[in-house]
Amino acid sequence: MTNTYTSFLEDSSHFLTIPITKTLYVDSLTPVDLFQRVQDEAVYLLESNDDTSPWSNYSFIGLNPFLYVAEENGEYIIKDRYLQPRFSASSFKNAVQTVDEHFKVKLPNLPLPFKGGAVGFISYDAVSQIEKVQVNKENDLQMPTFHFMYCETLLAYNHQSKELVLLRYVQLNEGDTEAEKSKKYQLAVEDINSYVNQIVNPSTNKLPLVFNSEQKDVTFKGVTSSYEKEQFMNDVNKIKEYIKSGDVFQAVLSQRFQVPTKASGFDIYRVLRLVNPSPYLFYVKVDGVELIGSSPEKLIGIENGELEIHPIAGTRRRGRNEEEDQHMYEDLIQDEKERAEHYMLVDLARNDIGRVAKYGSVQTPVLMELVKFSHVMHLISKVTGTISPSVHPIDALLAAFPAGTVSGAPKVRAMQILNEIEPVARNVYAGTVAYLGFDGNIDSCIAIRTIVLKDEVAYVQAGAGIVADSKPELEWKETRNKASALIKTIQIAQDIYDKKENVYV
């Protein structure tokens, strides 16, 4: 343990939530192995898993939430581990501030990008609480607009060094006696040692997933959609009329697919992380719903007061060899439509950061750089700034929300049009999955390439950016093409489930 009882007691005179930590080296385990060995207590796994990606190289596993923050009928309720209400707040920012004030967290002295805090989601429909956009009344999934968990224990795994940090937060009460503090400290030490034992000596050996994705063709048989093809194409034309009349330059029209499945959420995640590795991989269990995602795109990052958005626009598939790869890149970089859309989204990102940054600090250090992922290549830019001293990190997160890449431009008018046209509420799709660190650092991704699993139905949503010269048939195909990788993932996981069932018949 890096924290002695003596140092813990000293900290307890200033703080009520105090970390104790232990570090191991686990050279032969993967994040999936680690998650499975603590699966009964685990509620999320956050990963970055693309060898060609320049971002983070950590995986985080959260165990045993001790606090929940969720929006309920316009109020933000803070509940304890037993789901009993403790506090309420009038806004999400106030709820986060209330947690900070009442739980007085001591930060661990560790070089981790995330040292604990809240993990969860903001649904796209939260825009109605931020901008002048009405709620879509057809909300069949009935998910909250904000839902975050604070975990008692965090496992942080460094992919390169193979170092695993176990971080356990001890919660004290005002007025605890030294005997009570000692008891809580010892319990935390026992918890950490128990987790170490579970990791080193697992009670069961989990079988690996075995499948061949190349032998599985995606099928839309049994898949239903929120749209009939004709209605979708009619709505593309409606948006083009709005563009023609000068309301917007672009709007991202989406359709939602529903896939019945008995596959487990974690098996779907295990398939997804292999067939579609990405800078932002996540598996989150929250309120009876599982979120399974492979997002390529940051919404906003905040690290030590520095803001960063990575607009992505412009996509081509990877080539089968270096020559074809280069041809794909040249075709992409010379496409005037792709370049114009990219510049528009860079301007949106500069505007979003400019709302919360120090005057004169907004920069675009990277403009239209090619980044290659496993299956596709994208044009990506980087917009940065320094947060204004008067701005809370949550304000900066909400200033960037939702991303222009999933709404349109101008953003508010595009969202109003989409709310009028789209047949169902988006819920998590096009919102964000994020961590909000106790230290004020935030990392968030756009909830695209994301599966929502609820009551044995997997929901997949995908959109297409509609512009003045869009062709309705092609936009319909684009949404189906974007969704097909996730639908294929679900179908592979279902095949694995069926084979398991046959073994036990």
219 is catalytic: no
Nearest to 283 by CA among 442, 474, 59, 12: 59
Judge residue 252's burial from the number of C-beta atoms within 10 Å of its C-beta, 0-12 exposed, 13-18 middle, 19 or more buried: buried
The answer to whether 278 and 50 have CB atoms below 8 angstroms apart is yes
Catalytic, 449? Answer: yes
* Cα angle, residue 176 at apex, residues 172 and 180 outer, rounded to 5°: 85
117 a catalytic residue:
no
Which DSSP category does 105 fall into?
B
Burial class (CB in 10 A: 0-12, 13-18, 19+), 217: exposed
- Residue 278 has what pLDDT? 85
pLDDT score, position 1: 64
- One of 147, 256, 378, 413 is an active-site residue; which one? 378
What is residue 447's predicted lDDT score, i.e. its pLDDT?
98
Tell me, yes or no, whether 222 lies in a domain: no
What residues contact 214, with CB distance under 8 A and at least 6 apart? none
CA atoms of 409 and 414, how far apart (whole Å): 6
- When divided into structural domains, the chain yields a total of 1
**Parent domain of 131:** 5-200
Residue 505 domain flag: no
**CATH number, domain containing residue 184:** 3.60.120.10
Catalytic site includes residue 405: yes
What is the DSSP code (8-state) at residue 405? Answer: G
420 within some domain: no
Cα–Cα distance between 167 and 457 in angstroms, integer? Answer: 35
Q: Residue type for 427, please?
A: N
Catalytic residue among 429, 431, 440, 489: 429
The predicted structure's pLDDT at residue 55:
46
What whole-number distance in Å separates Cα of residue 272 and Cα of residue 277?
Answer: 7
d(CA 257, CA 211): 24
Active site residue 465: yes
Single out the residue of 28, 23, 18 nearest to residue 166, CA to CA.
Answer: 23
Select which of 384, 465, 479, 480 is catalytic: 465
The answer to whether residue 380 is domain-embedded is no
Helix, strand, or coil (residue 1): coil
pLDDT at 457: 98
Phi/psi at 114 (5° precision): -130, 120
E strand or H helix at 3 = none
Supply the pLDDT for residue 51.
53
Is the pTM value of this prediction over 0.95?
A: no
Tokens 């026992």 identify what position?
Answer: 190
- 228 within a domain of the structure (yes/no): no
Residue 132 lies in a domain: yes
Q: Does 340 reside within a domain?
A: no
Which of 449, 459, 463, 479 is flagged as catalytic? 449
Among residues 17, 384, 386, 405, the one annotated as catalytic is 405
Exposure of 371 in the CB half-sphere (CA atoms within 13 A) = 24
Tokens encoding 371: 């980044």
What pLDDT tens digit does each residue of the chain (505 aa) get?
667 999 999 999 999 999 999 999 998 888 999 999 999 999 999 998 655 444 467 899 999 999 999 999 889 999 999 999 999 999 999 999 999 999 999 999 998 999 999 999 999 999 999 899 998 888 999 899 999 999 999 999 998 889 999 999 999 999 999 999 999 999 999 999 999 999 998 876 666 676 766 656 788 999 999 999 999 999 999 999 999 999 999 999 999 999 999 999 999 999 999 888 888 999 999 988 999 999 988 999 999 999 999 988 887 878 889 999 999 999 999 988 888 889 988 999 999 999 999 999 999 999 999 888 766 788 899 999 999 999 999 999 999 999 988 999 899 999 999 999 999 999 999 999 999 999 999 999 999 999 999 999 999 999 999 999 899 999 999 899 889 989 999 999 999 888 875 543 3
Q: How far, in Å, CA of 404 to CA of 304, rounded?
A: 25
Exposure string of 102-114, with b = 16+ CB inside 10 Å and e = fewer, is ebebbbbeeebbb
* Nearest Cα residue to 49 out of 274, 225, 290: 274
Residue 159 CB coordination number (10 Å): 16
Instruction: Give percent helix, percent strand, percent coil of the chain, each to the nearest 5.
Output: 35, 30, 35
Query: Is 123 part of a structural domain of the chain?
Result: yes
Backbone region of residue 88 per phi and psi (left: phi > 0; alpha: psi in -120 to 50; beta: other values): beta
